[in-house]
Amino acid sequence: MTAEPFKIGLLGHGTVGAAFAELLPERADQIAATTGLRPEITGVLTTSRGTFEEILAASDLVVELIGGLEPARGYVLAAMAAGKHVVTANKQLLAHHGEELWAAAREHGVQLRFEAAVAGVVPVIRVLQESLAAAHVDRVHGIVNGTTNFILTQMASTGASYADALAEAQRLGYAEADPSDDVNGKDAAAKMAIIARLAFDTPVHLDDVRYEGIEQITQEDIAYARDLGLSLKLIGTAERVGEGISVRVHPAFLYAGHPLASINGSFNAVTVESPAITEITMSGPGAGGPQTASAVLGDVISAMIPPASTPETTQQLPVVADAESAFYLHLEVEDRPGVLAQIAQLLGLQGASIKSVVQQGTGSGARLVMVVHPMLESKFFAAVDLISRLDFLRGTPRAIRVLDEEFAA
């Protein structure tokens, strides 16, 4: 039996688009045997090739890989209004306009698939939408940016500086020529907005996500973390806090027993916590054209076998700005009597409890590195502000969050 053609319009032919265009014909026979439809690219849109109108008219499904907000948003909305399924890897588009796009998909009875927008080949979207649709999710932790994970792994394993590790990531193709959105945390924040929306069934916009990057991480931070038995990752967190939710991205130290602590290189991983399942962790490659193209193709196959949709949200949960966290605190101080006592006093006034302290050096070259038990972030930073005014400090305090928990094997 001859499989019917399934026509795909491809918007964008960059790293991922080119990899997808190469992967699709390699897998076409297998897909045809499974679905009864043979996928084929019938048009490609670039700045110098094709028109959107021609591609739309000749397609059953549109794959959007041009990135950015416009014209991507207009193309996706037009495609769905014309009754076409859409697959996208555009996390910024979904983080800014997700509710509008999901509503359009429901209105026109088409599918909007976006697994590749979040964590490469890690199937976190499918798991949240389908496998755990009936679970009450309490928290999602994720390493959702392969570029920053590669950089931090390089710094920890080779002793490279941040600048040298970034240069190596660019040389290997894990980082763009302009890596700003990766290293400043914005890329991960967009992904966590999407994850939070699906995990908690409530609208979440990129503006709701507080984020910090890794640009200020130093070899000293990583060396002291090693002394304390910690590893350093850029972590995205979406969790329930009281009657609301907190969504944030920041560097964090993890103890060895945490399931994300051993995720290295350009790999991504997501841990989902729920009373019904305790904890599950999914991991896989998170950066690279072929890997992302594979996730895009998975979405294309899913869209070829309807139905599937992103339901309308039923909750309207407030976003909580202040959450609890443990902290690593690095202080450059003069070594003289009473220094640690004054620091401990200021931390104690804000309700902080010190878990561990490491002191290195003497005289004017002394350093104090400590880990503080979980407390409200606002109170911790209030204490740091007071500490920064002490006359024996020789530089600005550096603070990094710590995931102060481990899971039993």
Report the catalytic residues: 191
3-state secondary structure of 3: coil
> Is 7 annotated in some ligand binding site?
no
> Is 176 annotated in some ligand binding site?
yes
E-strand stretches of 224-365: 230-241, 244-255, 267-274, 278-285, 324-333, 354-360
DSSP one-letter code for 65: -
Between CA 369 and CA 356 the distance in angstroms is: 8
CA dihedral sign of residues 293, 294, 296, 300: positive
Whose CA is closest to 221, among 150, 168, 152, 141? 152
Q: What angle do CA 307, 311, 315 make, to 5 degrees?
A: 165
> Is 18 annotated in some ligand binding site?
yes
> Is 288 annotated in some ligand binding site?
no
Between CA 131 and CA 242 the distance in angstroms is: 25
DSSP one-letter code for 206: G
> Is 205 annotated in some ligand binding site?
no
> Is 109 annotated in some ligand binding site?
no
> Is 284 annotated in some ligand binding site?
no
> Is 348 annotated in some ligand binding site?
no
Between CA 12 and CA 21 the distance in angstroms is: 10
Whose CA is closest to 251, among 288, 204, 212? 212
How many C-beta atoms surround the C-beta of residue 281 within 10 A?
17
DSSP one-letter code for 230: E
> Is 402 annotated in some ligand binding site?
no
> Is 206 annotated in some ligand binding site?
no
Q: Which residues are annotated as a binding site for NADPH?
A: 91
- Residue numbers in the known binding site are 11-18, 91, 176
Binding site residues for NADP(+), as ranges?
11-18
Would you list which residues are annotated within the binding site for L-homoserine?
Answer: 176
